[in-house]
Amino acid sequence: MADEMERLLPRGMGVSRHHGHPGAPWRAGAGDPPSLHVVVQGAFRLSQDGVCALELDAGDVVLLGFGPRGAGPREQSLRCVAPPPDRAPAEAELISATYAAAPGTALASLAPVVHLPAGEVRRAPGLSAVVGLLRAALAEASPAQAHLARSLLEPLLAYALHCHEHAREGRSSRALDRRGARAFDRRVARVLRLMQEKPAERWSVEALAKAAGLSRAALARRFLAELGVPPLRYLAELRMQRAAELLAEGDGSLAAVAAEVGYDSEFAFSRAFKRHTGEAPGAFRRRSRSEGAAFRLPPVRAAA
């Protein structure tokens, strides 16, 4: 497992601790290295290209820029915000870690922004423990403690990714439940229903936002908060799930399956399916039938 982690995870480059009252923001551009941020206390606002994307509270973790290069915003910033008038001013604290860019690894499948709310972090004992160790290491300014802090960067990212995957699987299974067991934001629910009813439609974020009665930015923010992934990434995963069902349970040709989930050609569909699952559609169909059991879609490895 250690060898696999070393192969997949980018190397930690540096870690810093920011604290104080509302002031200058932490900024990142499209070409900057990917980063992970832990809100220890206080509140922060993540802005992308000048538009507020997320409100972050104490205990939240956010990963920025680990997805496909060029898929994220041109500029983003994390700014400490003042507490509401009814709250006493409190010092804010943010831990920021940067990582070497690692194109071609499994991390390229991540969304440009991955938000782990405090509740999910608390339910992940490994992540909580590493954050605690990192805070302790940064509390003392010495070469030995600085070395210790740097050694914790890869485990910090590994546990954050594990937490995200566990939470994403739970969200996806609830979202794909056609009985509507979970009550989503009603406008996000409308978008989910459209995707599920018409997965082959040539949806754009603009078209989905218009159907929901929201701006493009508002839909992106709400969708990310509810499901942890952007709308079009969720749509790609939904299409692959539907394709896996058709392959495992139906007799349609690959071209027919491709058309039913929104691909213009069998070649484009096959390439996307293999990129998602690590397995060609034909091989997936043969394996799922030879096992003689309910199919299970392999873990998603990359976005279409």
Tens digit of each residue's pLDDT (9 = 90 or more) over 46-95 = 887 777 778 888 899 998 888 766 566 677 888 888 766 666 666 788 89
CATH number at residue 15: 2.60.120.280
Four-CA torsion 219, 220, 222, 226, nearest 10 degrees: 130
pLDDT at 36 over 90: yes
* Predicted pLDDT at 38: 93
pLDDT at 208 over 80: yes
Give CA–CA dist 222/234, Å, rounded: 13
Question: Are the beta carbons of 9 and 157 closer than 8 angstroms?
Answer: yes
Q: Do both 128 and 262 map to the same domain?
A: no
Q: What is the pLDDT of residues 110-134, one digit of tens each?
A: 777 888 988 888 888 888 899 999 9
The domain boundary, picked from 143, 174, 205, lies at 174
Which residues are within 8 A (CB) of 173 and not within 5 positions of it... i.e. 6 or more apart? Answer: none
Helices 231-249 & 205-212, crossing angle to 10 degrees?
100
The domain total for the chain is 2
In terms of residue numbers, what domain contains 282? 186-291
Q: Do both 117 and 40 map to the same domain?
A: yes
Bridge partner residues of 98 (DSSP): 14, 35
Model pTM score? 0.55
Q: Do both 271 and 165 map to the same domain?
A: no
Average pLDDT, the chain: 78
Q: Do both 151 and 14 map to the same domain?
A: yes
* Predicted pLDDT at 180: 42
Give CA–CA dist 261/189, Å, rounded: 20
* Predicted pLDDT at 105: 52
* Predicted pLDDT at 152: 92
